[in-house]
Amino acid sequence: MKDALGNVQGILLLGGGSDIGQAIVREILRGRRPARVVLAARGTGSCGAFVSELTGMGHHVEVVGFDANTPASHEAVLDMAAAGGDLDVVVSAWGVLGAPQDTLDADPIAAAAVATANYVGVVSAGLETARVLRAQGHGTLVHLSSVAAERARRANFVYGSSKAGSDAFMQGLADSLVGSGVRVLVVRPGFVRSKMTAGMKGQPFSTTPEAVAAATVKALAGNAHTVWVPGILRMVFLVFRHLPRAVWRRMPV
């Protein structure tokens, strides 16, 4: 539970190796008192440098195994994270882009793996997180979504549809938790220059993990349920959402 000064004392990062997830944790803790941080990742070795960084700042860090593609394991992961104390913030920050769309067209198994990681895993981990936070009576679940959730593009519709599903799930979960003391914040960044997008051509309104983190923490201080990064994308996609389908599929985005 947050202390009397509002300092976060317990954070769980699901997707412990995520550039954006780590940036969010870093921003939450900036200038704050020591806290307990649990990093949950499939490859726990990917968290090594971040563990050293956080412990060097005086925070207590634990690393646990987490596989988004194995929903049956999620209950144990959340229980393990909660066993050491209340979780004030849980950041859901994993996801995969998958192979290019034309490759996925010819490989339905690979396409299903993208959907499992980006949607099925979110449903399972999201419900387990809600269970733990509801039992505490407080806490915020931050879900890293994408502007791709607003309208799937023909260039990456498997990824876009998986993000749309997870985004809709989190919006519904947020509504179901009203009155419980638990909050859900959905973050919709545009193209983020990170490890996951290394080597890819940038897009208009590209952003960085640090910018996403700053916008997220600012939103946490208020009452927002959704935040776009950069903010202009809210208006851009307001237009995109209503374009005729024949026009949309020809858009170079």
Q: How far apart are CA 184 and CA 175, in angstroms?
A: 9
As a whole number of angstroms, the distance between CA 116 and CA 110 comes to 10
Residue 79, token pair as written in the block: 């229980």
Residue of 50, 66, 119, 159 marked active site: 159
User: Of 126, 144, 133, 127, which Cα lies nearest the Cα of 182?
Assistant: 133
Strand pairing class (182-189; 89-92): unpaired
Residue 177, both tokens: 């938790």
Q: Which of 188, 170, 184, 179 is nearest to 139 (CA)?
A: 184
> Residue 184 is encoded by which pair of tokens?
């859900």
Give the SS3 label for residue 157: helix
DSSP structure string for 172-207: HHHHHTTTTTEEEEEEEE-SB-SGGGTTSPP-TT-B
159 catalytic per annotation? yes
Which residues are catalytically annotated?
159
